[in-house]
């Protein structure tokens, strides 16, 4: 009895994980960068990152007996073209990870099944915590230490075999599992992501200023989108994939494609038009977002984003549609302010 690294990886693959590696719990030097990043104000309004900084600095703050971290990667890339180049300004850009089912729920179920298998195989009790994105752990650092991939200049973990369209998750445990070698940085002299970012949010290789990042501004940001960034929002209705779409390790959207039904675009999110989304009722949008990762932003913030994107669309029908739609969230002051900006831009 006992969990071997080989059996664990085989079981992870059987449960639908595409990548699995094991890292030792240690004071990895990259973990220290997080506090410096916070001190520079790059977390923008994500106060929870400041509150959990001590725990994020060391997983032993979360689980004192922790010895290893099992890092897992799940490809979510669906077989659809990229939108960065030749983008249709009237089509809503939604980050690929949010097209299908909410990954938190889907992957947590798989993680729980893997942990159950570990407990039944270990032959001894052990302590563990399993997280999908939401835990106070620097999962990208552990993914790199576990050999899943390196942290690219775009701050995403890039697998040399599968690219960066991957969900990360991990099991922190008190078992002394056999660990893997860390992944080597393979960005080399490439700077495509830094050059392609429409807002200059990648202020240095591997350093993201969330205050300027469209993913932050259209998802986590609860307030107004700064006026100086609204034009750069372009047709982005939720999140941004530009710095991943231009990455040579993701060169074709077919590089690593998932057939998992969980990540396929749901009806209404398969290349939706901005206008069609805007003209839905609040209840219809709630139904669309139910069970999707997009519910994090909610209907009100989605409308705010749609207003900005429609303002950038040059669609002659957009101004009238923005002013004429009368759902409760359209009358929200936050949304009204963005609608006024958009109508002003559309009417020149």
| Residues classed as catalytic | 133
In whole angstroms, how far apart are CA 305 and each of 149, 237, 298, 315? 32, 5, 11, 16
Give the nearest distance from C-beta 239 to ligand SF4 in angstroms: 7
The site string for ligand SF4 over 160-199 (x = CB under 6 A, - otherwise) reads: ---------------------------x--xxxx---x-x
For ligand SF4, which is the closer residue by CB, 280 or 301? 301
In b/e form, how buried is each residue of 47-58, taking b as 16+ CB within 10 angstroms?
A: eebeeebeebbb
For ligand SF4, which is the closer residue by CB, 30 or 192? 192
For ligand SF4, which is the closer residue by CB, 196 or 321? 196
Closest CA to 43 of 55, 34, 32: 34
Applying CB under 6 A, does 201 fall inside the site for ligand SF4? yes
Applying CB under 6 A, does 130 fall inside the site for ligand SF4? no
**Total number of residues binding ligand SF4 (CB under 6 A)?**
23
Applying CB under 6 A, does 83 fall inside the site for ligand SF4? no
Q: Give 303's DSSP letter.
A: H
The piece of 122-130, 139-147, 211-219, 223-231 that touches ligand SF4 (CB under 6 A) is: 211-219
Closest CA to 93 of 223, 266, 233, 196: 233
Give the nearest distance from C-beta 153 to ligand SF4 in angstroms: 4
44 class by beta-carbon count within 10 Å (0-12 exposed, 13-18 middle, 19+ buried): middle
For ligand SF4, which is the closer residue by CB, 16 or 182? 182
Give the nearest distance from C-beta 41 to ligand SF4 in angstroms: 16
In whole angstroms, how far apart are CA 131 and each of 70, 76, 112, 147, 170? 11, 17, 10, 18, 6
Alpha-carbon gap, residue 302 to 295, rounded angstroms = 9
Give the nearest distance from C-beta 148 to ligand SF4 in angstroms: 15
Alpha-carbon gap, residue 131 to 103, rounded angstroms = 12
Binding residues among 240-269 for ligand SF4 as defined by CB under 6 A: 240, 242-243, 246-249
For ligand SF4, which is the closer residue by CB, 153 or 304? 153
Give the nearest distance from C-beta 84 to ligand SF4 in angstroms: 9
CB neighbours of 237 closer than 8 A, spacing ≥ 6?
Answer: 92, 93, 94, 218, 274, 277, 302, 305, 306, 309
- Residues at the site binding ligand SF4, with contacts judged by CB under 6 A: 152-154, 187, 190-193, 197, 199, 201-202, 208, 213-215, 240, 242-243, 246-249
């Amino acid at each position: 009895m006992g969990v071997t690294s080989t059996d664990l990886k085989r079981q992870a693959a059987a449960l639908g994980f595409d990548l699995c590696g094991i890292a030792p719990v240690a004071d990895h030097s990259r973990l220290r960068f997080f506090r410096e990043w916070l001190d520079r104000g790059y977390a923008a309004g994500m106060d929870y990152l400041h509150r959990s900084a001590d725990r994020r600095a060391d997983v032993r703050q979360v689980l004192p007996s922790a010895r290893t971290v099992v890092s897992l990667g799940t490809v979510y890339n669906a077989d659809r073209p990229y939108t960065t180049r030749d983008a249709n300004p009237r089509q809503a850009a939604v980050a690929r990870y949010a097209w299908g089912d909410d990954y938190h729920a889907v992957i947590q179920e798989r993680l729980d099944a893997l942990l159950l298998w570990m407990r039944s195989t270990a032959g001894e009790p052990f302590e563990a915590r399993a997280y999908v994105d939401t835990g106070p752990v620097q999962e990208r650092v552990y993914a790199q230490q576990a050999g899943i991939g390196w942290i690219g200049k775009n701050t995403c973990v890039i697998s040399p075999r599968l690219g960066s369209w991957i969900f990360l998750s991990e099991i922190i445990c008190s078992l002394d599992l056999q660990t893997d070698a860390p992944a080597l940085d393979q960005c080399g002299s490439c700077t495509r992501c830094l050059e392609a970012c429409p807002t200059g949010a990648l202020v240095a290789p591997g350093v993201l200023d969330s205050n300027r990042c469209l993913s932050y501004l259209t998802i986590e940001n609860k307030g107004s989108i700064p006026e100086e960034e609204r034009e750069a929002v372009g047709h982005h209705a939720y999140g941004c994939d530009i710095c991943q779409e231009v990455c040579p390790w993701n060169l074709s959207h077919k590089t690593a494609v998932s057939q998992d039904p969980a990540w396929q675009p749901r009806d209404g999110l398969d290349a939706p038009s901005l206008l069609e989304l805007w003209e839905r009722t609040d209840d219809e949008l709630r139904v669309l977002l139910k069970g999707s990762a997009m519910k994090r932003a909610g209907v009100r913030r989605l409308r705010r984003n749609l207003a900005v994107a429609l303002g950038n669309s040059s669609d002659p029908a957009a101004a009238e549609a923005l002013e004429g739609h009368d759902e409760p969230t359209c009358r929200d002051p936050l949304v009204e302010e963005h609608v006024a900006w958009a109508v002003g831009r559309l009417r020149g």
